[in-house]
Amino acid sequence: MGKKTDFEQTADEKIVWFAIVGTYGFWVLGAVYLVAPVIGWVLFVRLLSRQLGEARGPAEQLPLPLLAWAAAMGVMLLSLVIGHLDMGLGLGKLIKSSIGWAKGWALLALFPLVARLEIRPAVIYRAACVVCRYTVLFFPLFVAAWVLSLPTTLYVSPLKLVGGPGPEFFSVSLYELDPGSGAPRWRLFTPWAPALGMLGNLYFLCALEEQDTRWRRWGIAGSLLMIVISKSRLAMLCCIGLYGLRWVFRYYRHPGTYFLATPVLLLAGFLGGSIVEKVLGGVEAIKSARADSTRVREALADIAIERWWNEAIWWGHGIVERGPHMVEYMPIGSHHTWYGLLFVKGLVGALALMAAFLVSLGALLPWVARLPSARLGVSILCLLLFYTLGENLEILAYLFWPGLILLGRAHIESRAGAFAMQNGRQPQAI
């Protein structure tokens, strides 16, 4: 593999770099699901080994949002234990679920924390663009596989014996066919197509931050390709929303923004009823485009809410359960983070995650006009919030972990910025 960076890398950055740019290699081995938990815990141990016994100044103290994420994921583990005890699931399932927590929810605390290591955001931006370049170059091969009617899945890696949510996390899939329309869609190195759309949105945000024009073009092209070939409705809406949000964050203090917004808002006031009707019609059109998927999602949500309310309000059921035939036997709560949390971790787990999001947003929003990292951090939080409505964050944490490191860097820089302003200096990116 040739060198794709024009800057030297620290040992920690090399670990992150090769974990990202090696995505397609890990995919061929069926090891993508295993990489993130391994490097997450390895980097966390490296962080502890460096900081134990070191004296930390006020500017280097752990930012409150990172503590909030760590506390929230600790509450997830507590809910898991109590849920298993309440439901009498036994010691074996408790151990298995705890290992699952270490590979899922725990990553939402570990990766923001390891951002305190010497890991520059520029390394992640470039690595994301490299993966996007590979995607553009390899995509004709995936199209040819569909045209030639090759098997949709070549093989399932024997690494599945290590344990995971399902065989799709260890399979090498060339393409897949939509069961409703029969049209092709691609999931590449992710377990299902909407997950590829989510990662495409994350890489799109990274590509927009890349300073090298050539690599930025590769990043934008590859990330948009991921979004399009996933054929995910949520991914397309999310991409438009995130780009609009980025524009607002960058220009909301510019006087021209308000001169432009005034006539637009006046026109919207006169045409408000018509606009609302068109928006609602567009939403219905999106839903009807994949009606079967919409029906399954709604049924899963209804089952999760009903069983949570009637059976396990506070601590949940402890584990996911297979749904009935009407939802194609999909796990209850699998298509929605909040419904899944209520069902598995109860109200306590859902409130813990909500608190972590609110603390993060509250800490970063005051800095969006001063620090680019804060703008990116808020964009990543909004991306995750978007996808709580269509995916289970725990299951996909092994894919979007680079965004969690960037989120951690945003909090570290905003904390350092606050300390600088207290001492009469201007905040700067680290």
Angle at 337 between CA 247 and CA 47, to 5 degrees: 75
Contact 91, 99 (CB under 8 A): no
For residues 200-212, give the mean pLDDT. 94
- In degrees rounded to 5, what are phi and psi of residue 284? -65, -35
Residue 22 tokens read as: 């090696």
Alpha carbon 148 to chain centroid distance?
A: 33
pLDDT > 90: what percent of the chain?
51
Ramachandran bin of 297, using left for φ above 0, alpha for ψ from -120 to 50, beta for the remaining angles = alpha
3-state secondary structure 339-395: HHHHHHCHHHHHHHHHHHHHHHHHHHHHHCCCCHHHHHHHHHHHHHHHHHCCCCHHH
- Rounded Cα gap, residues 277 and 283, in angstroms: 10
For residues 16-34, give the mean pLDDT. 95
Can you give the pLDDT at residue 161? 86
Residue 341 tokens read as: 């949390």
pLDDT > 70: what percent of the chain?
80
Q: At what angle do helices 372-388 and 337-344 cross, to 10 degrees?
A: 70
Strands (E), 128-173: 153-156, 171-173
- Rounded Cα gap, residues 339 and 7, in angstroms: 44
Sequence letter at residue 264:
V
Can you give the pLDDT at residue 266? 60
Can you give the pLDDT at residue 380? 96
Better-scored residue on pLDDT, 424 or 131: 131
Ramachandran bin of 188, using left for φ above 0, alpha for ψ from -120 to 50, beta for the remaining angles = left
Can you give the pLDDT at residue 430? 43
Write the pLDDT tens digit of every residue in 269-323.
655 556 545 554 555 555 555 556 667 777 787 888 888 888 888 888 888 878 7
pLDDT band per the 50, 70, 90 thresholds, residue 211: very high
Can you give the pLDDT at residue 58? 45
Better-scored residue on pLDDT, 222 or 258: 222
For residues 17-33, give the mean pLDDT. 95
CA neighbours closer than 13 Å in the CB half-sphere of residue 197? 22
Can you give the pLDDT at residue 363? 93
For residues 407-417, give the mean pLDDT. 86
For residues 242-253, give the mean pLDDT. 76
- Rounded Cα gap, residues 295 and 316, in angstroms: 24
Cβ density class 63-94: b for 16+ within 10 Å, e for less: bebbbbbbebbebbbebbbbbbebbebeeeeb
Separation in Å, CA 164 to CA 171, 190, 350: 12, 14, 23
Residue spans per domain, the chain: 11-48+62-253+290-422, 255-289
Q: Is the pLDDT of residue 1 over 50?
A: no
Contact 86, 380 (CB under 8 A): no
65-69, 85-89, 375-379: the lowest-pLDDT one: 85-89
Count the neighbouring beta carbons within 10 Å of the beta carbon of residue 137: 11
3-state secondary structure of 242: helix
For residues 39-44, give the mean pLDDT. 94
Alpha carbon 208 to chain centroid distance?
A: 17
Better-scored residue on pLDDT, 3 or 343: 343
Averaged pLDDT score across all residues of the chain: 84
Q: Is the pLDDT of residue 390 over 50?
A: yes
Contact 185, 231 (CB under 8 A): yes
Write the pLDDT tens digit of every residue in 147-193.
998 999 999 999 888 877 888 899 999 999 887 777 899 999 999 99
Q: Could you tell me which residues are beta bridge partners of residue 203?
A: none
Tokens 């234990």 — which residue?
Answer: 81
Write the pLDDT tens digit of every residue in 333-387.
676 788 889 888 989 999 999 999 999 999 999 888 888 899 999 999 999 999 9
Tokens 């890489």 — which residue?
Answer: 203
Radius of gyration of the chain (CA): 22
177's enclosing H/E stretch is: strand 176-177
Write the pLDDT tens digit of every residue in 395-405.
999 999 999 99
Q: How many residues does the chain have?
A: 430
Residue 59 tokens read as: 């500017």
